[in-house]
Amino acid sequence: MKLRYLARRLGYLLFIMLAVTALTSALGSLLPGDVAAAMLGNEATPENVAALRTKLGLDQPLWQQYWRWITGVFSGEFGESHRTGESVMQAIKDRLPVTLEVVLAAQVIALAIGVSLGVLSAAKRDTWVDRVITGGTFAMISLPGYLVAIGLIYVFAVWLHVLPAGGYVPFGDDPAGHIRCLILPVFSLAIVEWPVFARTLRSDMITTLREDFILMARAKGLSSRRILFLHALKPSSLALITFVGLTLGRLVGGALVLEVIFSLPGLGQMIVDSILTRDFITLQGGVVFVTLGFLLVNFVVDMLYGVLDPRIRHAGA
């Protein structure tokens, strides 16, 4: 892999990261109200507010606040919460496992369903099986995750009473209860993602099945299953790999919303709480951390795509 290709992608990542941090910092300063006054509540006299603003560094120019914060970010520190005094990085570490568990489980389930149905749809092209799968993907691909979540809550929690509507149980306290409380949020995400994988793989798989090496494999008498999964699946997966990276970022965004719906103590709940309490340091740290994770995932996918398809690497060199 050429160093120019790698350096170019790293440059894009750094530029976007700096832009996001600057924008987040600027938007926080534009929101109405005063953080110090909100923190003091009934004790918010002009003298107390001024003293607290000085203590928090809020009386400094915006660029100085940003510089102090961004230097901390590059050293692995996102500052301390204005509301609780807790390290923002520690708060992220405490809540990250919940978000990752939901996102990764949903991605695995969505991939398993999407790849299976995508291969089946391509293998049964123009049959009733293909039409049912294609119709299902078109119907479900436009569904928002929160609407699916509400529907699943109504069916399995309100109507059937078989799963909890929300809440979180740590795995160490009750493994079975932990799994039960994650089923609905995980499937709420997976249901809206698998149609993307199925449609993408079906389209590329149909093209691959027309290639000469597939016709040769059939002429040799290889079984359909062997042809599909050993010969056709890999060359049909390049676009799928890209979508996996892109949808992983979208899954994180969806998980942040669903954490609020299902009362899960993840990054999404932390960000929403920081907005409601005007805890801008925690808000900035959460947004930047999520953005950085999204950029790193897409960077890795970009590199992997360049390895699997050298034409991409040479074109970007």
CATH number of the domain enclosing 136: 1.10.3720.10
pLDDT at res. 253: 80
pLDDT for residue 176: 92
Buried b (16+ CB within 10 A) or exposed e, 110-134: bbebbbebbbbbbbeeeeeebeebb
Does residue 193 belong to any structural domain of this protein? yes
pLDDT given at position 156: 94
What pLDDT shows up at residue 187? Answer: 94
Q: Decide if 275 is inside a domain.
A: yes
Q: How far is CA 162 from CA 92, 102, 152, 159, 187, in A?
A: 32, 20, 11, 9, 15
In which residue are the tokens 């607290």 written? Answer: 52
User: What stretch of H or E contains 136?
Assistant: helix 128-140
- Residue 38 in any domain: the answer is no
The closest of 95, 107, 106, 44 to 244, measured between CA atoms, is: 107
**Phi-psi region at 57: left, alpha or beta (left = phi > 0; alpha = psi -120 to 50):** left
Which pLDDT score, from 0 to 100, does residue 278 have?
76
Q: Phi and psi dihedrals of 80, rounded to 5?
A: -120, 145
| Residue 66 falls inside a structural domain | no
pLDDT at site 101: 93
Structure-token pair, residue 38: 């909100």
Tens-digit pLDDT string for the chain (317 aa): 567 777 787 888 888 888 887 787 776 666 666 666 666 666 667 777 777 677 766 667 777 777 877 777 777 777 778 777 788 888 999 999 999 999 999 999 999 999 999 888 888 888 999 899 988 888 888 788 889 999 999 999 999 999 999 889 998 899 999 999 999 999 999 998 899 888 888 888 888 888 878 888 888 877 777 788 777 877 777 778 777 877 777 788 888 889 999 999 998 888 888 888 777 788 888 888 888 888 887 777 777 766 655 545 444 45
CB 55 within 8 A of CB 81: no
Angle between helix 175-208 and helix 238-261 axes, rounded to 10 deg = 150
Buried b (16+ CB within 10 A) or exposed e, 292-306: bbbbebbbebbeebb
| Ramachandran region, residue 75 (left: φ > 0; alpha: ψ -120 to 50; beta: rest) | alpha
pLDDT of residue 82: 72
Q: What pLDDT does residue 131 have?
A: 92
Tokens in use for 175? Answer: 């493994």
Q: Are 309 and 1 in contact (CB under 8 A)?
A: no
Among candidate residues 102, 300, 99, 265, the one with its CA nearest the CA of residue 183: 102
How many structural domains is the chain composed of?
1
Contacts of 114 (CB under 8 A, 6+ apart): 193, 194, 195, 196, 197, 198, 201
15 lies in a domain? no
Q: Which domain holds residue 256?
A: 92-316
Within a domain: 45: no
DSSP class of residue 42?
G
Q: Is residue 166 part of a domain?
A: yes
Helix (H, G, I), strand (E, B) or coil at 80: strand
Residue 46 belongs to a domain: no
